[in-house]
Amino acid sequence: MKVRMVSMLKLLLIFKTDQVYGLRNLLRSPHLHSAHFRNTIPRPGMLPSLSKLVLELQEHSTFDDDPDRWAVQDLLGLLRSQPALEDLTLEFYDAGSFKFKGTGNSSTVELPSVKLLSLHWHGNTSGRHGYRSSSVPRLFKLLDLKNVEAFRFRIHPESSEDYETGAENEMPLLLDDHLKFFLGDEGYFPRLESFYLKFYSTEEDC
């Protein structure tokens, strides 16, 4: 019996340390088209051209030995190396995932092939900070995603205490700001055709 080899390879890597960088030979596989990383940002040049990328980044404060782990410059460098990317998922914590040091003079990263963007956003739902200081507008102003046609937006509770206090039944205080930024008359996605919104939920149905 002949076994046909699958022509496309999907790779899921979940690491909390730099041990992932020891897999650079595997990551350069010419058939790799999809990758999912948790708590690491691969260096530019490690990956072949992908069509789908998932990045889950926890609060950098959980990594006391490396407070600059999630520098936005690292993320921009990775995305800049993926011009053929079509499906991008980002998950991060507003108050702890990124450091924006050194991005003042950064040029916008163009991602013309991205058609589907999924954003999983944790925190700042209590309105303690102004929207301008939120990581969402600060990050996306550095990305050119004007060709996105479908946007999936999931707002997670800021902490487990939100469930205990009943906050999951309330509208996030920054929701209007988000919608205006992404969907307004001069919104971030001028070619948007499909929008999905879910907040204060742990169900994986998106």
Of 108, 199, 205, whose CA–CA distance to 158 is shortest?
A: 199
CB atoms within 10 A of CB 22: 9
Give the pLDDT of the chain (206 residues) as one tens digit per residue: 343 333 344 455 554 444 444 556 656 677 788 989 888 888 887 777 899 999 998 765 444 445 555 788 889 999 999 999 999 999 988 766 788 877 776 778 999 999 999 999 887 555 556 677 788 888 999 999 999 999 999 988 765 454 444 444 455 667 888 888 999 778 899 999 999 998 865 555 54
Residue type, 179: L
The pTM is what?
A: 0.78
As given in the structure block, the two tokens for residue 50 are 């992908």
Alpha helices by DSSP H, listed for 101-190, are 135-140, 161-164, 175-183
| CA dihedral over 52, 206, 148, 43, signed as positive or negative | negative
Separation of alpha carbons 170 and 180, rounded Å: 19
Q: How far is CA 183 from the centre of its chain?
A: 18
